[in-house]
Amino acid sequence: MPLPRIPGFILVTKIGSGTFSEVYKAYRFVNSSKQVVAVKCIVKNELSTNTVDNIIHEIEALKLLRHPHIIQMIDFSWDDNFIYIIMEYCEGGDLSVFVRSHKQLHEKICKSFLCQLASALQYLRQHNIVHMDLKPSNLLLTSRRNPILKLADFGLAQSLKNRQRETSFRGSPLYMAPEILRRESYDASVDLWSTGVILYECLFGKPPCSSSSLKELVENIQSKAAITIPTTKDISADCKDLLERLLQKDPNKRMTFEEFFNHPFVRMSVASSNGAEPEAKLVFERAQKMDKWNRRSEAIILYRQAQTLLNRLISADVGTLRETHTRKMLDVCSRRIQEIESSEDVLKRNTLSVEAPLSRDLRANMSPTFQELHSLSSTTPDLLSSLEIGLEGVQYDGEGQHAVALERYKAALEKLIPLLRSESKGRRRELLRLQITLWMERAEQLQIIHDLQQSNLEELQSGDASGYCSLQ
C-alpha cells in the first residue's frame, strides 16, 4: 500500500489510527502562512459499502456543522488509494488520554467539559442529529493547558427527531445505551446515556459497566440492576443527581434533553461567564482565521456568532476589566462585518445574499459538459437518476428557491459520491468528478446563506433576553 500523499499538504506525524484509517498532523501553506491541520487518511480498498456510507455521512455532517465545540472540517479530497478528510488540528489529544493521564478528574473540570459537550449536543438537537458514538476518544481537546473540548467523528451520526425511533445497531459497546444492546427501538436519548457514561468515567477513572470481556460487559449493561454511584469520592448532590438520571437503563425513566440542558449541574448561572469567555474567544479567533484566509463568507457568519456571544458576556460582566477587552473584540467584529458586506468583490459574488445567483460554472452544467455526462450515463440508471436530481437543484436554484435547491444538491451528492468511487477511469469519471465538485461548492454556498439567516434569526430572538446562559 503506498503512503498517503495529498497535494498542497505535508504530513508530518501520525497522531491516531482506526480500523481503516490513520490521522496525521499536517501543514499546508495559505497566502504565505503555515496552517496546522489534521488529515484523516482512509484506505479505500478495505472499505465495505456500509463503511463508505458512514464516511460519506461523516463528510456531509462535518461540512454543514458550525459550532465552537464541534470539530471543523476544512476540506476533503480523494485519490486512487485514500479518502482524505482535512480538519482543524487539536493538539491536546482526546479526552480518553486526558483522563488516563490524570486517573480521575476534579468535579469542576468534569463540569467544564460537560457544559461544553452539552453545548454541542444542544446544537445537534436543534438540527435533529444524534451522534450515536459519544465516547472520550471522540472528544478532542485543543490543548493540554486550558483545553477546549471538540466533538468529533460523525461517521455514525444520523438524523433523528426527539420522538423518532430507530432500530439499527450503532456505537461502541462500552458507551452504548442498553436499549441498543437489547436490540430494541431507541430514540435520541441514547446520546444522553453515553454522556452519563463519559461523566462517570471522568469522575471515577473508568466507565460504570467496565468488564473483563465483551460478553460480561453486554450482560452488565443489559441487566436491570441500577448503576451504583461510588461513595469513594465526594461529589456534589447536583452531580450525583445528574449521573443517576442520565444512567437510567430504562429509557422511559431517563431524563429528557430539555431536563438535561436545564439541570443545575449543567446550566450556568446568569451571573457566571467563565464558560462563555473561551467560547466567545474561540469563535472570534476562528472568524479572524477565515478572514485572513480570505474565506469571507464563513468569516462573516463567525463574526456574527462572536458578536452575539460577546454581547452576552458584556451583560454579565458590566464594570469589570474583562469588559474592556470584550468590547475591543466586539468593535473588531462590527468593523469587519461592515467592511466585508460593503466589499465590492463580495457583493459581486453575492455569497451572502439570499438572492445569490447561479455562478457561470453552474449554468454551464446544463450545457455541453453536463449534456455529455448525461449522455454517457444513459446505460447506468442509478447515475442517470442521480444527475437528474442534481439538475432539479440547479433549476430550483435558478428560480431562487434556495432551501429546496440545497436539499436537491445534497440528495444528488449523497448518491453521486459513492458512484464516483466505483467509476472506472475515463472521460465519464472526469466529468462526474467535475460535476460533483461544482455541486458541492454550490451546496456549501447555499448552506452559508442558510446559516447566516439562522444566525440573524437567533440574534433577533435573543435580542430581548436578559442575562446569559452558556448553553444558549
Active-site positions read 133
Task: Give one word for 138, left, alpha or beta, with left for phi > 0 and alpha for psi -120 to 50.
Answer: alpha
Burial of 230 (0-12, 13-18, 19+ CB in 10 A): exposed
44 is in an annotated binding site: yes
Instruction: Cell numbers for 355, please give them.
Output: 438572492
Kindly give, in sequence order, each residue whose CB lies less than 8 Å from that of residue 369, ignoring residues fewer than 6 positions away. 431, 434, 435
CA distance 226 to 248: 7
**Residue 54 phi, psi dihedral angles, 5° rounding:** -65, -40
Q: Which residues contact 270 (CB under 8 A, 6 or more apart)?
A: 316, 467, 468, 469
Nearest to 189 by CA among 247, 243, 140: 247
Burial status of residue 108 (CB atoms within 10 A of its CB: 0-12, 13-18, 19 or more)? exposed
What CA–CA distance (Å, rounded) separates 13 from 196?
33
* 222, 182 contact by CB (below 8 A): yes
Nearest to 113 by CA among 90, 147, 145: 147
Q: What are phi and psi of 150, to 5 degrees?
A: -130, 125
CA distances to 58, 155, 157, 322 from 83, in Å: 12, 14, 19, 44
Binding-site annotation, residues: 44
Binding-site annotation, residues for ATP: 44
